[in-house]
């Protein structure tokens, strides 16, 4: 950015601060909370501990009626909003996480800030929640005892302790957010693409941050996007998307890499057509008009996890649309066509355990071999050699490790390796803390998928002093990375850079330590076969 542009940006930041002071003073006279002018209106915040929170701010028009399946439209004027409660979750069915919802008016975000008028603009962290891109919301509660009354993504502690502005965003999910019916590409000549509506919602939220966050004390020129699971995949997609370019300056992917699990436009259209058929709209003169006229419940039933869902359409997600995702992420990373920003990636030691809770366990090596054949076809024998059941407590444990590595651990590794190959500043972690709580040991979850989230946010009381220390360290690594692009923590191990040769990894546990690689042999195998899975 040249000097003139920086001066202009700094002037805008000063203007935003001046407006914030004026609005806050006016609110104080009226006896209310601080008021901030944003796109579409004004929002009134509320004190939460040592920070001010603004909950449920609209960042786009409600995607209803003719806007269903379309890219997000600009937020309409809404006047004055008492921003004191989370918005509705986007439409989704009941699941392990998230809240069942049929409310399409769900494109809202939340902001936590220590104060509106800092001496210097603060780094901004924008959270993208997980849930397989079919469930979840910014207001999710912790799904496990004894913390079911706690908001999992409450960022007040993170913002307060680390002088950071934190934003969390909702986005469309499932059939509403990743519906790539080919006819959508013909609706708007200026945007001839189909699908990835949820990713486009996230881009709209990042544009909102760019245009409004200075009034909350944040620096629009220092934005970090971070997310877990599907949110991790989405962060990865923003790394290769031309539509996201310039809207963020650092990135963190927690458990999941987009070099696998991305559908072609053709396969995504097949899935969309199968869902249209399940919803009763195939053969209609205008299938999209038919689908837009359906009640939300009917589309949820036809979409992922719905009662009428066809197996062919059960895996809606990121697809290659030519616009948001112009080509396969693997090819774009290898060609160096990605955002050259500092990037943290990582995975947990036991990513697969959560997905087998309640399932009937396999008990013999023969059953293990049969499962590998069903899931991985021609690669079953190689996988059995790489993950011999005798190396695990049971054949079930071997299968859990295979599934967790294939989908989460090694997809994250694969992206890290491709990014680091271009000498991009890259850091990798392995979260290995087995939380000392009864439900973790009862279900034998280990360091399970999503276990690190509470440590990142500080959103639940740590069960021991070791967990309190680990949480402080992780929050400081994340927030210092957001501030300067380098993860550091007070009186903690230095975090080495990850590169394709040395593959230095920081293990996050009750005691921090460094690893020379993390499941390198296993992940090299998965990297070699992702093209064919």
**Of 351, 452, 476, 483, which residue is the catalytic one?**
351
Per-residue pLDDT of 483-494, as tens digits, reads: 999 999 999 999
Closest to 68 (Cα-Cα) out of 177, 157, 211: 177
Q: For residues 457 and 459, give the distance between their C-alpha atoms in angstroms, rounded to a whole number.
A: 5
Whether residue 229 lies in the annotated active site: yes
Whole-number pLDDT of residue 524: 96
Whole-number pLDDT of residue 308: 64
Whole-number pLDDT of residue 320: 98
CATH class of 36-341: alpha beta
> Which residues neighbour 247 within 8 Å (Cβ) at sequence distance 6 or greater?
203, 206, 207, 209, 210, 223, 238
DSSP state of 101: B
| Phi/psi-derived region of residue 41, left when phi > 0, alpha when psi is between -120 and 50, beta in every other case | left
Whether residue 363 lies in the annotated active site: no
Whole-number pLDDT of residue 315: 59
Regions of the chain with pLDDT less than 70: 1-31, 307-315
Whole-number pLDDT of residue 309: 56
Residue pair 457/153 in contact by the 8 Å Cβ criterion: yes
Virtual CA dihedral for 81, 84, 86, 87, nearest 10 degrees?
-20
Locate the domains of the chain by residue range.
Answer: 36-341, 357-446+486-533
Whether residue 88 lies in the annotated active site: no
3 state DSSP class of 254 = strand
Q: For residues 348 and 352, give the distance between their C-alpha atoms in angstroms, rounded to a whole number.
A: 9
Per-residue pLDDT of 221-246, as tens digits, reads: 999 999 999 999 999 999 999 999 99
Structural tokens at position 163: 């002088």
Contacts of range 200-203, beta carbons closer than 8 Å, 24 or more positions apart: 200/71, 200/72, 200/243, 200/324, 201/60, 201/63, 201/72, 201/107, 201/169, 201/170, 201/171, 201/172, 201/177, 202/128, 202/169, 202/171, 202/234, 202/238, 203/238, 203/241, 203/243, 203/244, 203/247, 203/324
Angle at 448 between CA 255 and CA 435, to 5 degrees: 125
In three-state form (DSSP H/G/I as H, E/B as E, the rest C), the secondary structure along 272-284 is HHHHHHHCCCCCC
Whole-number pLDDT of residue 414: 97
Place of tokens 């087998």: 356
Whole-number pLDDT of residue 457: 98
Residue pair 493/418 in contact by the 8 Å Cβ criterion: no
3 state DSSP class of 139 = coil
Whole-number pLDDT of residue 307: 67
> Which residues neighbour 289 within 8 Å (Cβ) at sequence distance 6 or greater?
none
Place of tokens 């790394």: 239
What is the distance, to the nearest Å, from the Cα of residue 58 to the centroid of all Cα atoms in its chain? 19
Whole-number pLDDT of residue 127: 98
**Of 229, 232, 241, 407, which residue is the catalytic one?**
229
Q: For residues 476 and 487, give the distance between their C-alpha atoms in angstroms, rounded to a whole number.
A: 8
**Of 449, 459, 479, 527, which residue is the catalytic one?**
449
Other beta carbons within 10 Å of 94: 10
């Amino acid at each position: 950015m040249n000097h003139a542009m920086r001066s202009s940006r700094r002037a805008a930041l000063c203007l935003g601060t001046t407006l914030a002071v004026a609005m806050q003073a006016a609110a104080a006279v009226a006896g209310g909370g601080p008021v901030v002018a944003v796109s579409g209106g004004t929002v009134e915040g509320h004190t939460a501990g040592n920070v001010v929170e603004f909950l449920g701010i609209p960042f786009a028009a409600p995607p209803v009626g003719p806007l269903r399946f379309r890219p997000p439209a600009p937020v309409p004027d809404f006047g004055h909003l008492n921003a004191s409660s989370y918005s509705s979750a986007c439409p989704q069915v009941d699941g392990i996480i998230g809240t069942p919802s049929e409310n399409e008016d769900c494109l809202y975000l939340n902001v936590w800030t220590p104060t509106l008028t800092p001496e210097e603009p603060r780094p901004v962290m924008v959270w993208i929640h997980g849930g397989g891109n079919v469930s979840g919301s910014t207001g999710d509660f912790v799904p496990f005892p004894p913390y079911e009354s706690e908001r999992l993504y409450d960022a007040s502690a993170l913002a307060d302790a680390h002088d950071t502005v934190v934003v969390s965003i909702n986005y469309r999910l499932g059939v509403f957010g990743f519906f790539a019916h080919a006819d959508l590409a013909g609706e708007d000549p200026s945007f001839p693409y189909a699908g990835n509506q949820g990713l486009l919602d996230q881009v709209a939220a990042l544009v909102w941050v760019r245009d409004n966050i200075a009034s909350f004390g944040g620096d629009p020129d220092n934005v970090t996007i971070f997310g877990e699971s599907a949110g991790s995949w989405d962060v990865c997609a923003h790394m290769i998307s031309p539509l996201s370019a310039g809207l963020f300056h650092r990135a963190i992917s927690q458990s999941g890499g987009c070099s696998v699990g991305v559908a072609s436009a053709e396969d995504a259209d097949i899935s969309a057509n199968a869902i249209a058929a399940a919803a009763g709209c195939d053969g209609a003169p205008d299938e999209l008009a038919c689908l837009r006229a359906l009640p939300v419940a009917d589309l949820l039933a036809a979409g992922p996890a719905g009662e009428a869902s066809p197996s062919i359409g059960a895996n809606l997600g990121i697809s290659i649309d030519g616009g948001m995702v112009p080509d396969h992420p693997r090819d774009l990373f290898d060609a160096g066509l990605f955002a050259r920003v500092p990037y943290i990636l990582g995975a947990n030691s036991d990513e697969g355990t959560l997905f087998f809770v309640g399932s009937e366990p396999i008990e013999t090596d023969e059953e293990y071999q049969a499962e590998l054949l069903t899931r991985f076809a021609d690669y079953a024998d190689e996988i059995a050699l790489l993950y011999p059941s005798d190396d695990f407590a049971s054949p079930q444990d071997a299968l859990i490790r295979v599934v967790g590595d294939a989908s989460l651990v090694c997809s994250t590794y694969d992206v890290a390796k491709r990014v680091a190959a271009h000498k991009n500043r890259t850091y990798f972690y392995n979260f290995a803390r087995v939380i000392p709580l009864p439900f973790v040991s009862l279900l034998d979850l280990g360091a399970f998928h999503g276990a690190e989230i509470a440590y990142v946010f500080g959103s639940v009381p740590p069960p021991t002093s070791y967990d309190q220390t680990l949480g402080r360290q992780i929050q400081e690594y994340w927030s210092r990375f957001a501030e300067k692009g380098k993860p550091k923590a007070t009186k903690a191990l230095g975090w080495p850079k990850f590169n394709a040769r040395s593959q230095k990894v920081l293990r996050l546990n009750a005691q921090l330590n460094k690893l020379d690689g993390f499941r390198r042999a296993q992940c090299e195998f998965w990297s070699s076969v992702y093209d064919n899975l």
